[in-house]
Amino acid sequence: MQEHTPMRLTTQRQIILEELLKVTSHPTANEVYDMVRKRLPRIGLGTVYRNLELMAETGMILKLEVGGTQKRFDATIQPHYHVRCMECGKVDDIDIAVQQDINETAAQACHYQIIGHHIEFTGICSNCTQSDKTASIN
Amino acid sequence: MQEHTPMRLTTQRQIILEELLKVTSHPTANEVYDMVRKRLPRIGLGTVYRNLELMAETGMILKLEVGGTQKRFDATIQPHYHVRCMECGKVDDIDIAVQQDINETAAQACHYQIIGHHIEFTGICSNCTQSDKTASIN
DNA sequence: TTATGTGCAAAACATTTGCAGGAGT
DNA sequence: ACTCCTGCAAATGTTTTGCACATAA
């Protein structure tokens, strides 16, 4: 059995992580690609996907499997919950207490070995509430 | 402003709904397609997608935006939570109390108009726990 | 009769992967 | 040196869409 070689510290990885740390917007892989490309114009989208996936696996970042068509990534790794705007798809953190106890409750209600949970709220963000008002006037 | 014409009751729609009511497995669009095709061999995948989407919009069924690569559909429309197996992707209902109050807590912690929430537990299902054991023996 | 719905096929997205050359250790 | 990693491009998988014909109301 072979010892696992540590992840190499490549320029691409550093910059992807740096860019992700700069924002609180839970960007999609493609948004990260756009951010990183400003500093590394020749980076490939595949590299971004591969590294985001790898960093999520090793726990450096969080992969958010929220609603919508794309996965999102988050450099804040402490457990926390999210709100997603049904109108524009924006995802924000929501600062309410994490319910550690709920996992055990769930474990007793099913035959799964429970590893964790995530709460996703859905709603309309303040920007979109505004636009809705404007739209209904017209 | 034109009155909205009600949804037509087509054979395709009836059968899609009937098949969805038969199972508790939260099938993907493609799985619904396979189920329906046994009774309606000439139905198109596009029709299945269009109708599942439409039924979800009108509240006849639930579209589950859970983790994994595909959306899933559920004929049980009462609010309830889910567990997803990280190994095989299976999704099951989890019968614990729905927390109505949490929406208000969330509303106070952000600037969204909160509409609802969903809790997704992640874990390993009993089938996959078995396979893991077998695998680790080898 | 006529607006809606359907089948089919192509397009549009999101993500993954194979490979030859490049770079970290 | 020797892996592991990257860029590129092609492949894959999922969902949406355009259009001519069919059908429920």
| CATH number of the domain bearing residue B124 | 3.30.1490.190
* B83/B69 same-domain check: no
- Categorize the per-residue pLDDT at A3 as very low, low, confident or very high, splitting at 50, 70 and 90: low
Distance from C-alpha of B32 to C-alpha of A22, rounded to nearest angstrom: 42
**Which residues does chain A have within 8 Å of residue B103's beta carbon, measured at their own beta carbons?**
121
Q: What's the CA angle centered on B122, arms A97 and A26, to 5 degrees?
A: 60
Near-strand C residues (CB closer than 7 A): A 8-11, 28-30, 45-46, 49-50, 53, 69-71; B 5, 7-8, 10, 12-13, 40, 42-47, 50-51, 69
- Categorize the per-residue pLDDT at B130 as very low, low, confident or very high, splitting at 50, 70 and 90: confident
* B60/B118 same-domain check: no
Q: What is the pLDDT of residue B5?
A: 74
Domain that holds residue A118: 79-138
Token pair belonging to B83: 């567990």
pLDDT tens per residue, range A49-106 = 999 999 999 999 999 999 999 999 999 999 999 999 998 999 999 999 999 999 999 9
CATH code for the domain of A20: 1.10.10.10
Distance from C-alpha of B103 to C-alpha of B84, rounded to nearest angstrom: 23
**Which residues does chain B have within 8 Å of residue A127's beta carbon, measured at their own beta carbons?**
none
How much is the mean pLDDT over chain B? 92
* A63/A98 same-domain check: no
> How many domains are there within chain B?
2
Q: In what order do the strands lie in the sheet with A81-85?
A: A91-94, A81-85, A113-124, B113-124, B81-85, B91-94
CB-based contact B113 A119, cutoff 8 Å: no
- Categorize the per-residue pLDDT at B123 as very low, low, confident or very high, splitting at 50, 70 and 90: very high
| Minimum-distance nucleotide, CA of B10 to C1' | D24
